[in-house]
């Protein structure tokens, strides 16, 4: 479908909530209406709203005064995949592909294209509709900063800030009580939050999913500081960190989710081992969802606005199935399918990892 034929667009937010979602919704809606005279339809609760036909029109007034709000005014869902949707029939729940139902709802509303805001899971689901001929423009969202095809995602800067501030505050307690203090941050498979927040706060040890740790070397780093008169240590731990020849620590399993494994608790495991092996008192703090909530920092508000504007620009240029991306300092676009079911991980020889090592930070390896 050419750009001149586009009259109506839909917009949805998928996956977990994230600072900056509302800023994107605002930018997309206002640019579409003011610049191009399009009709905009908000889809409630991600792809679940498409399955259940919960779609409503958005006016410019609906997105006013939401720039600074956390979360998403449209709601979101991180469990619904229309290709694997639970349908109850004859008293039993069966998994069915309901993408044709979704396409019917889109046609009923005469929606010409979708703006999908999300991470790798959202882009994976969107790819199914791309293959059915629907033009989807992806906007990269995730606090983990792990989406393939872009150097940065909005939401990451806020999560990094929250984690850094927490580590800074933990620092004073660690120093006062001469403890080894562990702070667990989000990052299932990608350690970008832990790496950036750890470096920014001057953490003594940073544990990442990409660099399996040896608990003996973690303990050595802590005791070495004690021998040199530094009576406390700060350890930043990604929730996906795991020991050499070991497994990630699973908090629980959610069978209703497309990604059922919920990680959490590795900091307590590591903290207990440090205390038993070294005799140094430890405490752990798990930040959890505070990293995803609240007001986005200015950097995320600006990036989200740039991304939202670029999504409409790319769409109206007639491009098909593109992912808005930041490369270097330039907002550009890439093939949406490049981000489907992929993750951008921290390389063990990443320049920031090398810099941290050279100033004495341990990665437990």
DSSP label at 209? Answer: T
Asked if 199 and 206 touch (Cβ cutoff 8 Å), the reply is yes
Asked if 186 and 237 touch (Cβ cutoff 8 Å), the reply is no
Asked if 9 and 111 touch (Cβ cutoff 8 Å), the reply is yes
Q: Who's near 229: CB < 8 A, 6+ residues apart? A: none
The yes-or-no answer on residue 151 being catalytic is no
Residue 299 to residue 307: CA distance in whole angstroms: 12
Q: Active site residue: 17, 144, 204, 333, which one?
A: 144
Residue 342 to residue 348: CA distance in whole angstroms: 18
Residue 274 to residue 288: CA distance in whole angstroms: 22
What Å distances lie between residue 113 and 36, 97, 259, CA to CA? 14, 21, 27
- Give the 3-state secondary structure of 136-198: EEEEEECCCCCCCCCCCCECHHHHHHHHHHHHHHHHHHHHHHCCEEEEEECCCCCCHHHHHHH
SS3 for 324? Answer: strand
Show which residues are catalytic: 144
């Amino acid at each position: 479908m050419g750009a001149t034929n586009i009259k109506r667009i839909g917009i949805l937010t998928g996956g977990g909530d994230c600072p900056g979602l509302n800023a994107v919704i605002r930018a997309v809606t206002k640019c579409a209406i003011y610049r191009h005279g399009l009709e905009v339809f908000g889809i409630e609760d991600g792809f679940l709203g498409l399955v259940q036909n919960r779609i409503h029109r958005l006016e410019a007034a609906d997105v006013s005064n939401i720039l600074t709000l956390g979360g998403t005014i449209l709601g979101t869902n991180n469990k619904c995949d229309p290709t694997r949707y639970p349908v109850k029939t004859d008293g039993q729940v069966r998994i069915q592909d309901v993408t044709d139902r979704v396409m019917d709802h889109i046609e009923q509303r005469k929606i010409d294209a979708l703006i999908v805001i999300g991470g790798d899971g959202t882009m994976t689901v969107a790819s199914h509709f791309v293959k059915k001929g629907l033009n989807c423009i992806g906007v990269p969202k995730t606090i983990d900063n792990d989406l393939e095809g872009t150097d940065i995602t909005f939401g990451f800067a806020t999560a990094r800030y929250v984690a850094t501030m927490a580590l800074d505050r933990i620092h004073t307690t660690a120093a006062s009580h001469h403890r080894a203090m562990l702070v667990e941050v989000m990052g299932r498979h990608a350690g970008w939050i832990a790496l950036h927040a750890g470096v920014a706060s001057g953490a003594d040890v940073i544990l990442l999913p990409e660099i399996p740790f040896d608990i003996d070397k973690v303990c050595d780093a802590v005791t070495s500081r004690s021998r040199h008169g530094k009576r406390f240590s700060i350890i930043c731990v990604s929730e996906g960190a795991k020991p050499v020849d070991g497994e990630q620590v699973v908090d629980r399993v959610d069978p209703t989710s497309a990604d059922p494994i919920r990680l959490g608790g590795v900091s307590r495991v590591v903290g207990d081992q440090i205390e038993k092996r070294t005799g140094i008192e430890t405490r752990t703090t798990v930040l959890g969802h505070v990293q995803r909530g609240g007001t986005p920092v200015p950097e995320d508000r600006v990036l989200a606005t740039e991304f939202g504007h670029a999504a409409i620009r790319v769409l109206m240029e007639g491009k098909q199935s593109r992912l808005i991306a930041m490369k270097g300092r330039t907002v550009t676009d890439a093939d949406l399918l490049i981000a489907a079911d992929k993750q951008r991980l921290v390389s063990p020889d990443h320049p920031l990892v090398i810099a941290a090592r050279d100033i004495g930070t341990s990665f437990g390896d």
